[in-house]
Amino acid sequence: MGPGDASDPALNDVDVIRVRGDARLAGTVHVVGAKNSALKLMAAALLAPGRSLITNVPRITDIAIMGEVLRRLGCGVRFGPDDPVDPMVAHGGVERSRSVLIDVPERPGAEADYDLVRRLRASICVLGPLLARRGYVRVAHPGGDAIGSRGLDMHIAGLARMGAEISGEHGFVIAEAPDGLHGADIVLDFPSVGATENLVMAAVLARGGTTIDNAAREPEIVDICTMLNRMGARIEGAGTSTLHIVGVPELRPVRHAAVGDRIVAGTWAFAAAMTRGDVTVTGLDPAYLEVALDKLVAAGGLVETRGDAFRVRMDDRPRAVDVVTLPYPGFATDLLPMAIGLAAVSDGGSLITENIFDGRFMFANEMMRLGAEIRTDGHHALVCGRERLSGAPVRATDIRAGAGLIIAGLCADGLTEVSHVHHVDRGYPDFVADLLALGVEVERGTAPEEPDLAI
């Protein structure tokens, strides 16, 4: 292979976002539907033959992948303009949310292919509804962000208690319940969002009653339970640690709007604090971010809440605060990169503890390239704040790390170039347009990918 060969990995271009530092965010940003809700709502549509319409769906790459997963299962999937919510106005007609019409056949397919599942971990959530509908499902082991191990043990153990026979071969999970699923009492070792969702979707068509203890309590769980109940399911306890489900013979298709994205909203809240800005976020119940917003108040910020909006203003350098990630309603692990970014520019030292994913600190080296003083030890990171960071080329390692690095670049001297921002595209619709609307000097482009010199 010669030096001019187009297949030379050193010559492959990657998407980058470049931001100029010493920025201050000011203005209003609208948050659309939550990625972590919309993906699961699309999977829930599999439970009822016919046409379900999901609105307020973010226009991101993960949604497109899930759409293709459903198409390969035999569903008709059509994306269209969002209605009646219209968040397109803010950026000159650029569509950031849309609706998705899912036409589910009487007998959907039963296999989710590896080439798609490896790109989207959330596609494992088709396991529960397909097993409930078909009595057989073959799903590839999922991929997704490189933020640590996220096994399927609780999914499998719960389905087994409901009568499924689980096996695995060649990278696939195979679940069979030829006589149908039955209700069961299930206690989760950890309040896993994915396991809770899969088990709820399986239980709504199972015979008899199912109880799930230590269930996840996230707003996205409440959202999927709300949609399922509107489809005819019988679920009680959504938003608490105990769910009671009574199985029904069949469900019907519905129209449902996805709940606002609390992680995107939290990203803008921390960005306002880090840049000593003044940002109003609309489209989300502020109660979903209570712990995170309290941290910003402790850091010296002014937080005002009203209806489906909140405002964050930081006039002086933030004070250092400690953060511990926990299942909802605790501090969200997806906001940990933003918490480290805030700590990196705060006055004093912060102890950041990650209790959910063992690989969440993988991006710390990239943050240190911007001059952040970070020492990690297992699940802990000690961050000593600096007045300013220093612009540098860095690489996004996952969705939230990418957003966190871009925001940190706004607090740095000079230019910061964040590469591999396709990760950011998976969670943030039109991130650059939002930054521009908030007064940031930012551009998107491409750059040659640096060769991996690791041996």
For residue range 106-121, what is the model confidence (pLDDT) as tens digits?
999 999 877 777 777 7
**4 falls within a domain:** no
Full-model pTM: 0.91
Is-catalytic flag, 145? yes
Task: Compute the mean pLDDT over every residue in the chain, rounded to the nearest whole number.
Answer: 91
How many C-beta atoms surround the C-beta of residue 239 within 10 A?
16
Boundary-marking domain end, from 257, 288, 305: 257
Boundary-marking domain end, from 223, 257, 291: 257
169 and 287 part of one domain: no
Higher confidence at residue 88 or residue 448? 448
Q: State the Cα–Cα distance between residues 238 and 227, nearest whole angstrom.
A: 11
108 and 163 part of one domain: yes
235 and 296 part of one domain: no
**5 falls within a domain:** no
291 and 237 part of one domain: no
Boundary-marking domain end, from 257, 275, 299: 257
Given a cut of 70, is residue 26 above it in pLDDT?
yes
- Is residue 140 very low, low, confident or very high in pLDDT (cuts 50, 70, 90)? confident
pLDDT tens, position by position, 302-323: 999 999 999 999 999 999 999 9
**292 falls within a domain:** yes
**317 falls within a domain:** yes
CATH number for the domain harbouring residue 224: 3.65.10.10
**360 falls within a domain:** yes
Would you state the pLDDT for residue 147? 36
221 and 310 part of one domain: no
Mean pLDDT of 67-75: 95
88 and 170 part of one domain: yes
- Is residue 452 very low, low, confident or very high in pLDDT (cuts 50, 70, 90)? low
Catalytic residue (choose from 5, 103, 115, 145): 145
Mean pLDDT of 41-65: 96
139 and 276 part of one domain: no
Would you state the pLDDT for residue 455? 37
Would you state the pLDDT for residue 152? 84
Would you state the pLDDT for residue 92? 43
Q: How many domains does the chain have?
A: 2
Task: Please report, in range form, the residues annotated as the binding site.
Answer: 35-36, 121, 334, 356
**1 falls within a domain:** no
441 and 381 part of one domain: yes
339 and 224 part of one domain: no
Mean pLDDT of 216-224: 98
Task: Please report, in range form, the residues annotated as the binding site for UDP-N-acetyl-alpha-D-glucosamine.
Answer: 121, 334, 356
**Domain carrying residue 87:** 35-257
- Is residue 146 very low, low, confident or very high in pLDDT (cuts 50, 70, 90)? very low
pLDDT tens, position by position, 251-269: 999 999 999 999 999 999 9
301 and 391 part of one domain: yes
Task: Please report, in range form, the residues annotated as the binding site for phosphoenolpyruvate.
Answer: 35-36
Mean pLDDT of 124-129: 92
369 and 439 part of one domain: yes
116 and 139 part of one domain: yes
**340 falls within a domain:** yes
Mean pLDDT of 268-295: 98
pLDDT cut 90: percent of the chain above it: 80
**8 falls within a domain:** no
Strand order in the sheet with 234-236: 185-187, 209-213, 242-246, 234-236
